[in-house]
Structure 1
Amino acid sequence: MTNLIKHPTVMKKLQDEIRHIMQEKQHITDEDIRKMQYLKAVIKETFRYHPTIATFLHKSREYVNLIGCYDIPPKTMVMINTWAIGRDPSYWDEPERYMPERFLNSTVDIKGFDFQLLPFGAGSRICPGIGFAETSIEHTIANLVHKFDWALPDGMKGEDLDVTEKHGLSLRKKLPLIVVPTSKC
């Protein structure tokens, strides 16, 4: 929601997609969600730009030579920095820009096969709740955007929003998001 409030053109485009698909329907179904390609792009871009967990720890199972330069012996603890990967210009055009459109014609997914986007990890250590999380996030955001218009209080603008992250076991906003919902109904 923070990124949608901070980027009103993205919010408008997402609202237009969801409201067009929903028309007069009140309850969003899985079939409706499958049609919402921009919603999926917004979620992927948010995971890229603000990963839930900035670093994953893994222990190597076998000897690996990484890019011909680094020897990693078995049982070495390896830290994977998903935050840095999400901002790596060798993977992403304009990595510091929040731009969901980058995922509209992309095969990159969050399922752990595309190593430039690993919000839930990868391989045998991937988060077992990925399916539940993906469905929950899609339905929650779709419902919030479908049923409400959102604004910042006291005439604040999106560009004034503080998106500083508080580091810990997981990444989250340092300051809470305070918004004013207006029912669309």
Structure 2
Amino acid sequence: MTQHDDIEDILFDLVEDGQLSAQAVADAIARYPEHTNAITDFAAAWQSHRDDNVEIYAPLPAPDLSRLWNSQAAGIDPFEGKDPFELRDIAARCDLSMNIMVKFAERLLKATSIPMLLIRRLADELKVPPGTLLDYLDQQQAIGASDFRSDGNPVVGQKQTFADAVRSSSMSDERKEKWLSLSE
């Protein structure tokens, strides 16, 4: 790879042969650390538009997702005001079952286990930045007074991984396989 200053030249070199290997991405990040975010964003976009039947793509190096968490948005509930019909429509557009959409809304899923492709798509559907959605999902699940009836104190359960939620969902095997291939 030739040394470049312009990010467009760097990205062009990455895909010069029509492929985008994990090693080429890692090398570009090591060579141009000031462009890490642009390189990983480009690589994620490239991989999300690939033909899923092609087996030649190696997994990309895990990007630093910490920049997506936005501490100023910690109090925002992106699902607030959404009725069940809106949630059903969003679930359908994101190719999810309603029971998984409810787990998103109730913060029952581990944020770090959800594929970034889905985070971006869901954030777009909810009309919030991905960081706002990630902040919301990363918070403890809420237990409302109407949800709890007992003499003892409420106990917050463990969050489920996205892959486990997919496996236990009512989605077709084909849809399950799609999401499991992106999350594991």
Question: Is TM-score (shorter-chain normalized) higher than 0.5?
Answer: no
Structure having the larger proportion of residues in helix: 2
Q: Which has the higher contact order (CA 8 A, sep 6+)?
A: 1
Structure number with the higher strand fraction is: 1
